[in-house]
Amino acid sequence: MDYRYLEKMTDETGFIQFGVGDEPNLESGHTVDDNARALLVSLNMEGDSRERLALLYARYLKDALRPDGRWRNLLVRGRYLADLDSGDCQGRGFLACSIAASCDLEEVSKLAQEMLEGVLPTLSRLEFPRSRAYALLGLIRCTELYDREVGAVAKTAAKIAQEFCDDLLYIYNRAKGKGWYWFEDEITYCNGIIPQALLAYYSFSGNRNALSIARDSLAFLSDNLFDQGYLNIVGNRGWWQRGEEIPRYDQQPVDACSMVLALKEAYLTTGERKYLDSARLAREWYSGKNINKTSLYNQESGGCYDALTPEGVNYNQGAEAILSLLYSFQAIEDLEADPEEDGAESKIISGEAHILQEKEQEGFANTPWGRWEVLLDAPDHKVKRITVNPGKRLSYQKHFKRKEHWYVVSGQALVTLDGEDISLASGQSVDIHREAAHRVANPGETPLVFIETQTGSYFGEDDIVRLEDDYGRAE
């Protein structure tokens, strides 16, 4: 990865907002928007510069945070300019801090956690869909970060997350119509963030409406933006108004990044290969698979041009452009580095050597407590591989339409079954009958992996009644 221009656009204050050609424009100042993006990029870097840069960008965010928990977005010549503190700035900053808070850099993590706790009480004031979508992604991460140590923070985050999700579902149902499957009457910038946030919320909560609307809206975007066989972004010269043609210029790098991240989230949520293929194609927008058949990457400077225009490119190379390019490539590189991606594994179920080939279309999801993936989904039974992270536990719950058999593959399990605690080690199992209250916790220091075999008449995630929950989802 080429980080030359990132270094060039960084001074002792943080990441500089604009470039004139390939030279930083110091007069343009620094923003929370760009330093939040830069923080995320730096955390994905390797080498000696990673900690130095991440700490610099985190300190910029900390210094820009007002005592009332709101960020001052634009700093020019040592003075913050009023009336430019957008909701997107607040949501984007919160998301960046939620990711940084769980990083392995102690000082960066501490700064991020301090900011999260200061900003969280202000989030309910966010009004606009994209602002709330950025914040929703951060809120989901907060429920995992604070679930055990600071339960009240996790419950507050979960409550606001549900509020934001419900609001996005409401405005979608209000705005959608024949041939228009979107949240508003126009499609503007960073559109992928809204379905991305709903997909993440489904993985967190199991909310099927969030999944359905996320898939429908992302499909609507994809059908219209990939119709030429490459990513063809909505241009900012008028945006896309309902019932009108899509303006194709100017196309901005931040919008390509938004599609990469949304499609990656869809792949991680559903396991459907089509989303991974589309994410990779969206990334290639930067490399010349676009309406102008022109690369936006400048090999001489390491920067990224600011836009595709009818004449070619906007030759300025600002913060938003290079950070979008780098984050897009990091996002796909992260998937391609996964040794399990593209492969099939052998699975051992209930101590018997049943070999199941993983399919490209099977479902899986990351959750606040770990991860689950479907190994087999048949009309009369379903098999999952469930991983619970150390110190985490699932909700105390019951089912009415299925019973379950749990077989521990590795790690330690503490099962609570109708109020009785049962300890299980590798090779041991337990049966969960219909309507039995149950949960599993990982009291160990390594991941707990167990196989769940479900039998019954219905296996949907909505056949769950949560009696207690560390993430604010109890009914």
Answer yes or no: is 357 within a domain: no
Q: How far apart are CA 270 and CA 37, in angstroms?
A: 26
Answer yes or no: is 59 within a domain: yes
> Can you give the CATH number for the domain in which 442 is found?
2.60.120.10
Tens digits of pLDDT across the chain (475 residues): 899 999 999 999 999 999 999 999 999 999 999 999 999 999 999 988 999 999 999 999 999 999 999 999 999 999 999 777 788 999 999 999 999 999 999 999 999 999 999 999 999 999 999 999 999 999 999 887 776 455 678 888 989 999 999 999 999 999 999 999 999 999 999 999 999 999 999 988 888 899 999 999 999 999 999 999 999 999 999 999 999 999 999 999 999 999 999 999 999 888 888 999 999 999 999 999 999 999 999 999 999 999 999 999 999 999 999 999 999 999 998 877 654 444 322 222 222 222 222 222 346 777 888 888 888 888 888 999 898 988 899 999 999 999 999 999 888 999 999 999 999 998 899 999 999 999 999 998 888 989 999 998 888 877 888 899 887 776 6
Q: Which of 336, 356, 373 is the last residue of a domain?
A: 336
Q: Are 64 and 72 in contact (CB under 8 A)?
A: yes
Answer yes or no: is 344 within a domain: no
Q: How far apart are CA 51 and CA 235, in angstroms?
A: 36
Which pLDDT score, from 0 to 100, does residue 337 have?
Answer: 60
Q: Which of 288, 316, 336 is the last residue of a domain?
A: 336
Number of domains in the chain: 2
Answer yes or no: is 353 within a domain: no
Which pLDDT score, from 0 to 100, does residue 145 have?
Answer: 77
Same domain, yes or no, for 326 and 371?
Answer: no
Q: Which of 336, 354, 373 is the last residue of a domain?
A: 336
Same domain, yes or no, for 320 and 451?
Answer: no
Answer yes or no: is 43 within a domain: yes
Q: What is the pTM of this model?
A: 0.73
Same domain, yes or no, for 177 and 289?
Answer: yes
Range of the domain at 50: 4-336
E strand intervals along 6-53: 16-20, 23-31
Same domain, yes or no, for 292 and 392?
Answer: no
Answer yes or no: is 346 within a domain: no
Same domain, yes or no, for 255 and 398?
Answer: no
Same domain, yes or no, for 95 and 152?
Answer: yes
Same domain, yes or no, for 23 and 159?
Answer: yes
Same domain, yes or no, for 421 and 314?
Answer: no
Q: How far apart are CA 108 and CA 89, in angstroms?
A: 19
Same domain, yes or no, for 193 and 97?
Answer: yes
Count of Cβ atoms closer than 10 Å to residue 267 Cβ: 22
Which pLDDT score, from 0 to 100, does residue 105 have?
Answer: 95
Same domain, yes or no, for 325 and 178?
Answer: yes
Same domain, yes or no, for 78 and 183?
Answer: yes
> Can you give the CATH number for the domain in which 271 is found?
1.50.10.10
CB neighbour burial string for 80-105, b if at least 16 within 10 angstroms, e if fewer:
beeeebbbbbbbbbbbbbbbbbebeb
Q: How far apart are CA 104 and CA 233, in angstroms?
A: 36
Answer yes or no: is 359 within a domain: no
Which pLDDT score, from 0 to 100, does residue 363 have?
Answer: 63
Answer yes or no: is 351 within a domain: no
Print the SS3 string covering 284-325: HHHHCCCCCCCCCECCCCCCECCEEECCEEECCCCHHHHHHH
